[in-house]
Structures are given as C-alpha cells and as structure tokens.
Amino acid sequence: MTSLVRRRLLAVAAALPVMPAFAQSRPLTCGELTAAQTEGPFFKTRTPLRVSLLEAGSKAPRLVVSGQVLSAQCRPVANALLDFWHADEDGEYDNAGFRYRGHQFADGEGRYRLVTIVPAEYPGRARHLHVKVQAPGKRVLTTQLYFRDEPGNRRDGLYRQDLEMRMAAKGAGEGRFDFVVEV
C-alpha cells in the first residue's frame, strides 16, 4: 500500500462515527459542546502528569473513566489536555498536596483513560468528579461528571443528566464519557 493510500484510509477511519461501549442514556450528539460547570473551591494548578491517581493502601472501590475528546464536528481532538480532581474516600479534597489530582493528554485519536477511586459524597453535593478539558491552544472547558442512579443526583442543583457517565449499572467500576470541546 502506498503511503498516500494508507493516509487516505486513516483519514476515512478517523471520520467514522464513534461507537459507544455501553448503551447510552441519550444519543451521541457531538454537535453540542459539553456543558460547563463551576470549578468549585478546590481546583489547584500544577498537578502531576499521570493517568492513575491510585494511592497505595486505599481500599476504596476502583473507578476507570475513559472516552474521547471530540470537536463539535465529531472529530477526535488529538493531545487534548484533561486535568482531573476529586474528593477522597472520606469526601475530602487534598488542598495541601495532590492526592486525587492529575492531568494527562489524550492520544492521537482523542482517547483518554483515568484510573482512580470512587470519590465519596460530601455534604450538599452528589458524587462527582471535576475536570478541565482543553484542545491544544483553545479555550478550557471546566465541568463535572456524575454517577449513574445516585440518590444524591436529585438533591444536587448542579447535577445534569448530560454530564452523567455511561455506566453498565449503579456502582459499576467503569464509566465512559466523551467530551465535546471548542477547537
């Protein structure tokens, strides 16, 4: 195969629609940018570069979050920056150090994968993750991700169904979420 043909084939493959791993709670709509949410009081800059936030000795249930960063035209955003932070197993944020904080870069197809624990709920909030997502050199999206079938979702005014991770069941250890950002 010539490299030109190969490049064309790769371009066609990249333009194909993205198939979700789980049944979706709503249709995939790359056209809509992911909703922004407040960053809250606990964001910190200069987080470590890492895909696993696991702490030695933690017995909290594991959580793997994966997905893709896409443009409104449903194109993968290569090398997008994702910076995650969340509460620990006691519902506390580490404001002195960087426990449960870390950033990573999506791969060439916009794919990311975060390995962490299920954060505890804290008073007044549904269980959630915080994240900032940014296409290279573009505007930062600050948002939050929510968990399936959490009783706290209904009581939290910030909760949005379109920010809920796709999960096989309540309490599942895997969540999927595709971000749609400005490019």
Residues interacting with Fe ion, by CB under 5 A? 40
Tokens of 52: 């696993």
Q: Which is nearer to Fe ion, 40 or 173 (CB)?
A: 40
Q: How far is the CB of 42 from Fe ion (least distance, A)?
A: 6
Q: Give the residue with the Cβ less far from Fe ion, 20 or 40.
A: 40
In the complex, residue closest to Fe ion by CB: 40
- How far, CA to CA in Å, does 73 sit from each of 9, 76, 127, 149, 182? 19, 9, 30, 30, 10
CA distance 36 to 152: 20
**CA nearest neighbour of 65 among 21, 126, 35:** 21
Closest to 183 in 3D by CA, of 112, 124, 134 = 134
**What's the min distance (Å) between Cβ of 38 and Fe ion?**
9
Residue number with CB closer to Fe ion (40 or 152): 40
Q: What is the DSSP letter of 155?
A: H
Nearest approach, Cβ of 87 to Fe ion (angstroms)? 6
**Between 22 and 43, CB nearer to Fe ion:** 43
Closest approach, Cβ 85 to Fe ion, in A, equals 8
